[in-house]
Structure 1
């Protein structure tokens, strides 16, 4: 499996897992979703919002890549998040609608990547305004790892609330 195939696999895994997580989360009441569970982002809904906000920040940075990814152009209509703890969507249904759109955007964009672009560096500013210059492929690995990290937290919170997401292993998607 080359790096492009790896990225496509992770984009598919992201969509698959988000669908499973949101299907499970929809079984809880709004109060249960908002309950402070003493997690990094407080509640299940808070953590799901953080994931969406983090993805948005990174995708907007990726849109600045010298390759000029047209598949990411729809993100120009969305403001860059300034607070990764904000509750951008207080309603799970509305958050899911946006998440599903974002996940398809990630898959579509991943399908446009070229191997030679992965070795380029990406210049961006972090949330504090500090300039950074890092290898693009490493940033993509971070992007997908960040999703997995916080989705793992959400699956734990859902389990603690009495709802099992089911199989979460990437292995389920590897042929």
Structure 2
């Protein structure tokens, strides 16, 4: 289905796009970031927070993978979010810092991923506490697709405010 190279490429794309989004969002006052805009998670800051929550959840699940990824050990000190809208940090600067930390972890983890680890199944519990077992490639496609979905919402919200994130196409990402 997917390769380790695909995962590494998507990890880089994820970081590139998040850097672009946060650079544009940083031009707005906190009140504009917090304003209700009718998105799934309400506001720009609510949507940015949701991505932090979802990525934290998935990275903590990946940290329990049988491969024992050393790069994900720092996540042990973070609590597992109990809700998909749980505020993880206070204010935009803290959100941006957490985003950069998570993106660095995702890139570092992607470098650690091996074909053998990718071929395994990930066992985890969903938000309702139900045991799940999914092929790791399926989980990773979901992780990156989920990020892209909500970043699309964010680019729309920013565009409605007259702000341009620029080109978002994967093919336009600068070479490593």
TM-score by length of 1: 0.96
Give the equivalent residue in structure 2 for 1:57: 57
Give the equivalent residue in structure 2 for 1:69: 69
> Per-residue CA shift, 1:8-51, capped at 9, x if unaligned?
00000000000000000001111110000011000000000000
**Structure 2: distance between partners of 1:70 and 1:31:** 39
Give the equivalent residue in structure 1 for 2:114: 114
Q: Is 1:134 aligned with 2:129?
A: no
What is the deviation of 1:86?
2.0
**Structure 2: distance between partners of 1:46 and 1:173:** 26
**Structure 1: distance between partners of 2:49 and 2:162:** 21
**Structure 2: distance between partners of 1:66 and 1:30:** 41
Gaps of 5+ in 1: none
Matches within 5 A, 1:1-175: 3-173=3-173
Contact 2:16 2:173 in 1 (8 A): no
Contact 2:46 2:85 in 1 (8 A): yes
What is the deviation of 1:174?
7.2
**Structure 1: distance between partners of 2:84 and 2:157:** 19
What is the deviation of 1:100?
0.4
**Structure 1: distance between partners of 2:87 and 2:32:** 15
Q: What count of residue pairs does the alignment treat as equivalent?
A: 174
Task: Output the aligned Cα RMSD.
Answer: 1.1
